Chain A
């Protein structure tokens, strides 16, 4: 059919063909692509270059002229102990939370792939942390972990884990756990909220992978008498590996680059103990006004992002050729 269409087009008089220059694929293709490409180049490409220039200069909110100072901003960043805490936190929060998410998401996906009463409601509730705007979800946690009125504290008091004589030790003798006031508990809280927030996406991605396992593979395993654990470890997990990688890569990107959780929950405190790269870049660059410093700190996110992008490309390429 396409051959005859092309033949028709060739048979058209010269003038009509001129009028329909847009019909040529070699012209129309790039023309249609242009708006998106211009947008991305102007508002992602150029700012990325600008970020690198900023990081090499002494630009501030007060003095917008770009005077190059070499690697001074990076050296200053590395010299600051807050930066080192932020760097460490960023990696710890990301790696630990995503390891937990990987385990939980596999379990949860398995649960949601079964049929049971109330499954739609469970799915709706389980997805809430992902569908709710991050800032508002974290606001919910800020109130749930409140220093005085936390319902979790109330529960712990009722079961005797909080208050004088708590079996958990003298750290838990107060009437409240103060989830966001001690450095270690605040770090735990941030980690916890990251797990809570990234679990749903990983789960639904894995679920999509689970439902795509060909039925004859499962049937064959059943006929051969493979038990539940055998089926999970010998069939599901190997078949799901690529999709698990995809799920974890999203989790890494969204946790590694996030500043919203820390900004709302702890503002980096107490005494900068929960600061991460992204939030530290914001406090330095936007609130502190030293744009060069902020840009340099944010650029420390870049190598990991490039690594994740490369792995995603590989997975997508392999998926294409299969």
Chain B
């Protein structure tokens, strides 16, 4: 579906929702046979009750929303407060943790980048993520096209089977895979992650792209083939350019999954200069009895916020993949 079409549909939905809301609101409901229209006092009472009910509903809504937001954001709030606190302020259990009793400082962030290997972890993560994205595209794009266009009625079933591979957990495979990684001479290098991560990005992204390709009319590549292009040429010239939003989703999702992965990285890589952020921060920066909590929290927050923003941009497309077609949108 094109962006415009989707937006049109959304507009349509909101207008319809508004219509529904008007219908729902008892304040303007048509008087039923039991409500005598001439009784102004009764009408007034009814209207007031409706208004009270409406205000109460809004109140419950805001309170619940606030509760859930606090519940979800609590560790992040504490994280961000911690980042800017000085030692004397942070490490005193009698001081109010929500306030800055001493002036805030940026020293913990400089410490993170200058005195720890965080920059190395960040670079490794970036390199691994870019390579994983490439491998994922090479694997998932042709597979998704094949399953959605060429495989006929087998396509959907095979697609779901591939998607289920995404759910095979690292904790089931990390022991045998550590052998495979060692046999290939990749032990203790980030190449091990580049090799293994596509085992979960390819399945999920193939499934996401299948949905995308199905929404593109077949006519466009058939027209291109009539114009003399081979099938592959037609895909390259017509299907892929139209699929850029889908491809972008794949890029973002593979990237995010690479940032998320912990178990394989922990099992395969032990030398610090090869580590990615999620294991580097949790294994290298926590050493002995000394916890540099402010820098640790900075390390986490710096990653968490941008990824969250990215996710929010692509949320609807990810969820479309997760719902397995059980939602007809």
Find residues 51-110 in chain B having any chain A CB closer than 8 Å to their own CB: 58, 61-62, 64-66, 68-69, 71-76, 78-79, 82, 90-91, 93, 96-98
Residues of A within 8 A of B180 (CB): 43, 46-47, 50
Measured between beta carbons, the chain B residues less than 8 angstroms from A114 are: 61
Given A175-B93, A243-B326; A291-B175 close (CB under 8 Å): yes
Q: Is the CB of A43 within 8 A of B61?
A: no
B262: chain A residues at CB < 8 Å are 133-135, 260
Contacts of B226 in A (CB 8 A): 1, 4-5, 8
Q: A143 and B72: CB pair below 8 A?
A: no
Distance in angstroms between the alpha carbons of A84 and B320 in the assembled complex: 39
Measured CB to CB, the nearest residue on chain A to B256 is: A131
Interface residues on B, range: 35 or more
Contacts of A128 in B (CB 8 A): 72-73, 76, 304, 308
Contact A222 B24 (CB under 8 A): yes
Contact of A209 among B90, B202, B327 (CB under 8 A): B327
Measuring CB to CB, which residues of chain B are less than 8 angstroms from any residue of chain A?
13, 16-17, 19-20, 23-24, 58, 61-62, 64-66, 68-69, 71-76, 78-79, 82, 90-91, 93, 96-98, 138-140, 142-143, 145-147, 150-151, 156, 160, 162, 164-165, 167-180, 195-196, 198-199, 202-203, 206, 218-219, 222-223, 225-226, 230-232, 256, 259-260, 262-263, 266-267, 277-279, 281-282, 293, 296-297, 299-300, 303-304, 307-308, 310-312, 315-316, 319-320, 322-329
A101 at the interface (CB under 8 A from B): no
Q: Whole-angstrom distance between the alpha carbons of A99 and B267 in the complex?
A: 31
Nearest-CB distance from B186 to chain A (Å)? 12
How far, in whole Å, are A29 and B155 apart by their CA atoms in the complex? 10
Is the CB of A285 closer than 8 A to any CB of chain B?
A: yes
Which listed residue, B93, B199, B263, B308, touches A259 by the CB 8 Å rule?
A: B263
Contacts of A237 in B (CB 8 A): none
Partner of A1, one of B75, B178, B223: B223
A278 is an interface residue with CB less than 8 A from chain B: yes
A196 to B72, Cβ gap below 8 A?
yes
Task: Report yes or no: A127 in contact with B139, Cβ–Cβ below 8 A.
Answer: no
Given A148-B93, A208-B320, check contact A44 B225 (CB 8 Å).
no
Chain A residue at smallest Cβ distance from B324? A316
Once the chains bind, are B304 and A212 in contact (CB under 8 Å)? Answer: no
Cβ contacts A to B, 7 pairs, < 8 Å: A1-B226, A23-B230, A23-B231, A50-B179, A124-B308, A250-B322, A316-B325
Interface status of A204 (Cβ within 8 A of chain B) = yes
Q: How far is the CB of A21 from chain B (nearest CB, A)?
A: 10
Binds B, one of A74-82, A179-187, A302-310: A302-310
What separation, in Å, do the CA atoms of A123 and B312 have in the docked complex?
Answer: 9
User: Which of A154, A176, A320 meets B325, CB within 8 Å?
Assistant: A320
Closest B residue by C-beta to A141: B75
CB of B231 within 8 A of CB of A22, answer yes
Docked pose: A218 CA to B13 CA in angstroms: 13
In the bound complex, do residue B64 and residue A107 qualify as a contact, i.e. CB atoms below 8 Å apart? yes
Q: If the complex has contacts A111-B68, A134-B260, A305-B169, are A33 and B93 also in contact, measured as CB distance less than 8 A?
A: no
Interface 1/0 per residue, A83-115 and B, CB below 8 Å: 000000000000000000000100110011011
In angstroms, Cα B278 to Cα A58, docked, is 32
Give Cα A221–Cα B58 distance, bound, in whole angstroms. 21
Known: A127-B315, A132-B307, A315-B326. 19 other contacts (CB 8 A): A22-B232, A28-B232, A32-B150, A35-B142, A36-B139, A36-B143, A39-B199, A47-B173, A48-B172, A51-B176, A125-B72, A128-B304, A133-B303, A136-B300, A144-B75, A149-B93, A257-B170, A282-B171, A305-B169
Q: How large is the interface on A (under 10, 10 to 19, 20 to 34, 35 or more residues)?
A: 35 or more
Whole-angstrom CA separation of A188 from B197 in the bound complex: 32
Complex: A47 Cα to B264 Cα, angstroms: 13
Q: Which residue of A lies closest to B267 (CB)?
A: A286
Shortest distance between the CB of B305 and any CB in chain A (Å): 9
CB-CB < 8 A to B90: which residues of A?
149
Q: Which residue of A lies closest to B309 (CB)?
A: A124
Chain B residue numbers with a CB within 8 Å of A277 are 171
Could you tell me the distance in whole angstroms from the C-beta of A136 to the nearest C-beta in chain B? 4
B198 and A116 contacting across the interface, CB-CB below 8 Å: no
Complex formed: what's the CA distance from A92 to B277 in Å? 31
- Nearest B residue to A19 by beta-carbon distance? B230
Q: Taking A37-B143, A40-B165, A278-B169 as contacts, is the C-beta distance between A205 and B319 under 8 angstroms?
A: yes
B177 near A215 with CB under 8 A, answer no
9 nearest A-B pairs in the assembled complex, by CB-CB distance: A140-B75, A257-B169, A29-B150, A50-B176, A32-B142, A36-B143, A278-B171, A32-B146, A136-B300
| Contact flags A246-281 to B (C-beta < 8 A → 1, else 0) | 100010010001111001100000000000011001
- Please name the residue on chain A nearest to B69 by beta carbon: A125
Q: Most chain-B Cβ atoms within 10 A of its Cβ — which of A51, A111, A136?
A: A136
Would B173 and A286 count as touching, CB distance under 8 A? no
Decide yes or no whether A232 CB sits under 8 A from chain B.
no
Partner of A111 from B65, B142, B260, B278 at Cβ < 8 Å: B65
